[in-house]
Structure 1
């Protein structure tokens, strides 16, 4: 039964899998078993297909062998995980979802959230006790309406002190009470004698459906007679491309000659939006290669090039700054994928000065795969709501350079410290201050504590959707 061997190369063009899928369904799995969808979807598009023997086109010699193979896995998740290549080092990002409606909402920027982002750390001197520092409060969110602020410290949830073992359970609730604390560094430059003491203040918070505008701050700062644009951008969301372009219109109108692009909490998003942002920063490279995508061997015809452009379809002309240098603020937990793509793709053209921490190290793009004839969200099998988001392509810059899997090393290394976070956009906020000092020639600000003031972070697992770079 050699017709079973799925030679995807001969029946796939631009992910059009109709004939192959229909033949397999007719001959093998009536009712379109979810495991059948998982295997065929991964066989068709997975970037590392050639590294997985069980995804080989000639893996099965009969329908019976194929069915028996699928039946060896009790859940779609188990099969999916078995097909990932080196999940602890290479493919840390492919995911399967049991409800693709949640995934669609997340990609559109709508999530169930209280509007808080925070970092968790071990209490100095302890290996089990945990405290948190609020790093970001989303505008008009539940947390914002309660008046919560960046820099506030919490030590307990629902009156229960946070530990390494209970932090996930307590903080993943849809409704909970944060118990706040005072931080005392005891006027020393090392954290070993620091104390975090509950102060009796608390806030009861509930998560609700919320759509985030990724343009958190867009303002013009004047330092030493320089008009400096500061953009805190938290997600490459195509639904806000016009708003992003409007921010650059504001910068143009103010005569901005320098730009600080704050991506410290930006896990990525749309590749095309990244190309638009690169075009807004520059403007002098229209038509030249911004980035490239390389798919697996069977899909090499889909290899694609994104170029610098001067317009957004249905969005008008791009407001470009024509800069030859940009400062990018980063963190090692959340600056990923499309954020790293911006750094990597601009570097061959202009000077990119990275301020902050080593980035995540995600060079691959993904795509949502549905159980449908062509893997799109058209004519989806109505019997289940599973979808996959596997890695499907590697992204490089014009010189074919990947983002290193170990991340991108900052030019100016500085970390956020929980007790000195500062106000985002303020001239004295540590990361922005370091960028401005370098920009104006005053050197890096005095920070004698930086090397000695180290924290042990114990953060929550970061969802894959928050470190995403996807092809639309």
Structure 2
């Protein structure tokens, strides 16, 4: 039986919204605002965060005994009239870098499925010299997007939007604002100097653009060794069976090595990370993949076994196709976050994980999607859309826990350090999936025992302060789709 069937048995002692009286808030209950108060969103946020937030015990305003009476609670909520600032400025722990809120929960839910408004151009943004001017460089193009129909490709540069030079103060508005169409002013690089060019490219954001996270999946022949290469750009559960099909092909091709390219993967579904790890390592469901660690209130309600997830033998609809490897080569950079790092950490106790690239992001916490549905402990469930408060469309994606691997390790808040350091080179980004693309070539060199001689000197490191993927609603989120559910 699945864990979530027992969820409310455990949480019933944690969340009770019984009415209080003038003598104060009854023990074991949560405060309630006065009926006349206009604080619906704030009330939802406080109660949801009080129950689930990982740092609930460290935020004074989220303490169970913070309010003596409902009147005091009401005054507190009314004093924070802006729900957005209430969430970010009042309820978050000072060291929390990743929790976020969206005033339209449906947009948040869609983004977790890979659906968003996008023109299909994925890029990094860096600074031009010691100035505040910004340049962009194309990392890849999403297939079947608007950008895929335009004269623009990986490795090209741009400096302007609609004729305006990009700067640290305007790039958000120009590139990630409400404008559905914009024109990029392209640029060239000579001797590490970026110069404007006359070329322009107009791009239009498409509603409900869906990105297949499997950008490339193919098997290479490296001196007689079959090497599977997978460029995987987001952990999306809606593509779990597609991912499994890619591994079925790897198995059919006789692949005995794998290069897993997650250099641009900011994360996503924890369960999808578990499935991917199983496709790489094996399907022994008695081997621990990760153990969940929640806040003290939630953790106390469940046994260690209840909060343990194992490697999988099925996606839920089909048997896992596993390569059963003893080592894996992972390309990961500073853009690799959350579920990407989780796969690397989860596999580490069982196999040799050879990391090529840069230090990763260092996001160890996972989150869940919360909406104003108190009868379901605020957890979003697509089958309960009609139970969500129609007067409150806010959705929250707070950090609610961390995952440790089978060895008990989650100590990579500063990022996972590469075994083979190598940055992308803006003067030679190469073609993704080509055997001479530098980062893939470095992995293949390792597989072939160093017989491939390539100069890996980096002339202009691809140093950037942000990328397009970190400006989507889901950002670098690592989330549980079925909180406290055992997946096998």
TM-score clears 0.5: yes
Aligned mates of 2:340, 2:456 — CA distance in 1: 29
Asked if the contact 1:168–1:460 (Cα under 8 Å) also holds between the matched residues in 2, the reply is no
Structure 1 residues 196 and 402: alpha-carbon distance in aligned structure 2, compared to 1, 3 A threshold: same
Name the structure 1 match of 2:276: 277
Aligned mates of 1:180, 1:195 — CA distance in 2: 14
Tell me how far 1:346 sits from its aligned partner.
Answer: 0.1
Aligned mates of 1:94, 1:444 — CA distance in 2: 44
Alpha-carbon RMSD across the aligned residues, in angstroms, is 2.2
What SS does the aligned partner of 2:138 have? strand
Name the structure 2 match of 1:323: 325
Name the structure 2 match of 1:347: 348
Structure 1 residues 137 and 299: alpha-carbon distance in aligned structure 2, compared to 1, 3 A threshold: same
Aligned mates of 2:18, 2:434 — CA distance in 1: 59
- Higher mean C-alpha deviation, range 281-290 or range 454-463: 454-463
Asked if the contact 1:264–1:329 (Cα under 8 Å) also holds between the matched residues in 2, the reply is yes
Name the structure 2 match of 1:264: 263
Name the structure 1 match of 2:123: 118
Asked if the contact 2:426–2:461 (Cα under 8 Å) also holds between the matched residues in 1, the reply is no
- Higher mean C-alpha deviation, range 72-81 or range 401-410: 72-81
**5+ residue gaps, structure 2:** 1-6, 21-29, 482-488
Say yes or no: does 1:417 pair with 2:425. Answer: yes
Say yes or no: does 1:164 pair with 2:168. Answer: yes
Tell me how far 1:270 sits from its aligned partner.
Answer: 1.1
Tell me how far 1:417 sits from its aligned partner.
Answer: 2.2
Aligned mates of 2:215, 2:102 — CA distance in 1: 29
Aligned mates of 1:344, 1:238 — CA distance in 2: 20
Name the structure 2 match of 1:189: none
Say yes or no: does 1:471 pair with 2:445. Answer: no
Count of aligned pairs: 447
- Where does 1:3-22 land on structure 2 (aligned, <5 Å)? 13=9, 20-21=16-17
Tell me how far 1:29 sits from its aligned partner.
Answer: 3.4
Asked if the contact 1:341–1:403 (Cα under 8 Å) also holds between the matched residues in 2, the reply is no
Name the structure 2 match of 1:306: 309
Structure 1 residues 387 and 260: alpha-carbon distance in aligned structure 2, compared to 1, 3 A threshold: same
Name the structure 1 match of 2:214: 215
What SS does the aligned partner of 1:248 have? helix
Asked if the contact 1:366–1:392 (Cα under 8 Å) also holds between the matched residues in 2, the reply is yes
Aligned mates of 1:388, 1:15 — CA distance in 2: 19
Within the candidate set 138, 143, 147, 1:139 is matched to 143
Aligned mates of 2:336, 2:206 — CA distance in 1: 25
- Where does 1:11-410 land on structure 2 (aligned, <5 Å)? 13=9, 20-21=16-17, 23=19, 28-30=33-35, 33-81=40-88, 82-86=90-94, 90-124=95-129, 126-172=130-176, 173-185=179-191, 194-209=192-207, 210-283=209-282, 285-300=284-299, 301-302=301-302, 304-313=307-316, 315-332=317-334, 334-373=335-374, 374=376, 375-377=378-380, 378=384, 379-410=387-418
Structure 1 residues 387 and 304: alpha-carbon distance in aligned structure 2, compared to 1, 3 A threshold: same
CA deviation vs aligned residue, 1:376-399 (integer Å, no higher than 9, x gap): 333111102001111111111011
Tell me how far 1:22 sits from its aligned partner.
Answer: 5.3
Tell me how far 1:168 sits from its aligned partner.
Answer: 2.1
Name the structure 2 match of 1:3: none
CA deviation vs aligned residue, 1:157-203 (integer Å, no higher than 9, x gap): 11222233322222123210011122112xxxxxxxx3222332111
Aligned mates of 1:376, 1:459 — CA distance in 2: 30
Aligned mates of 2:467, 2:247 — CA distance in 1: 34
Aligned mates of 1:293, 1:361 — CA distance in 2: 17
- Higher mean C-alpha deviation, range 20-29 or range 459-468: 20-29
Asked if the contact 1:154–1:180 (Cα under 8 Å) also holds between the matched residues in 2, the reply is yes
Tell me how far 1:14 sits from its aligned partner.
Answer: 5.3
What SS does the aligned partner of 2:475 have? helix
Structure 1 residues 110 and 405: alpha-carbon distance in aligned structure 2, compared to 1, 3 A threshold: same
Asked if the contact 2:274–2:311 (Cα under 8 Å) also holds between the matched residues in 1, the reply is yes
Structure 1 residues 456 and 376: alpha-carbon distance in aligned structure 2, compared to 1, 3 A threshold: closer
Aligned mates of 2:456, 2:149 — CA distance in 1: 37
Asked if the contact 1:276–1:309 (Cα under 8 Å) also holds between the matched residues in 2, the reply is yes
Asked if the contact 1:164–1:458 (Cα under 8 Å) also holds between the matched residues in 2, the reply is no
Tell me how far 1:339 sits from its aligned partner.
Answer: 0.5
Aligned mates of 1:27, 1:102 — CA distance in 2: 28
Within the candidate set 424, 431, 435, 1:427 is matched to 435
CA deviation vs aligned residue, 1:280-309 (integer Å, no higher than 9, x gap): 001163321011111111111355211112
Asked if the contact 2:184–2:201 (Cα under 8 Å) also holds between the matched residues in 1, the reply is yes
Tell me how far 1:234 sits from its aligned partner.
Answer: 1.0
Asked if the contact 1:367–1:391 (Cα under 8 Å) also holds between the matched residues in 2, the reply is yes
Asked if the contact 1:287–1:309 (Cα under 8 Å) also holds between the matched residues in 2, the reply is no
Aligned mates of 2:166, 2:85 — CA distance in 1: 32
Structure 1 residues 432 and 216: alpha-carbon distance in aligned structure 2, compared to 1, 3 A threshold: same
Tell me how far 1:61 sits from its aligned partner.
Answer: 1.0
Aligned mates of 2:429, 2:19 — CA distance in 1: 58
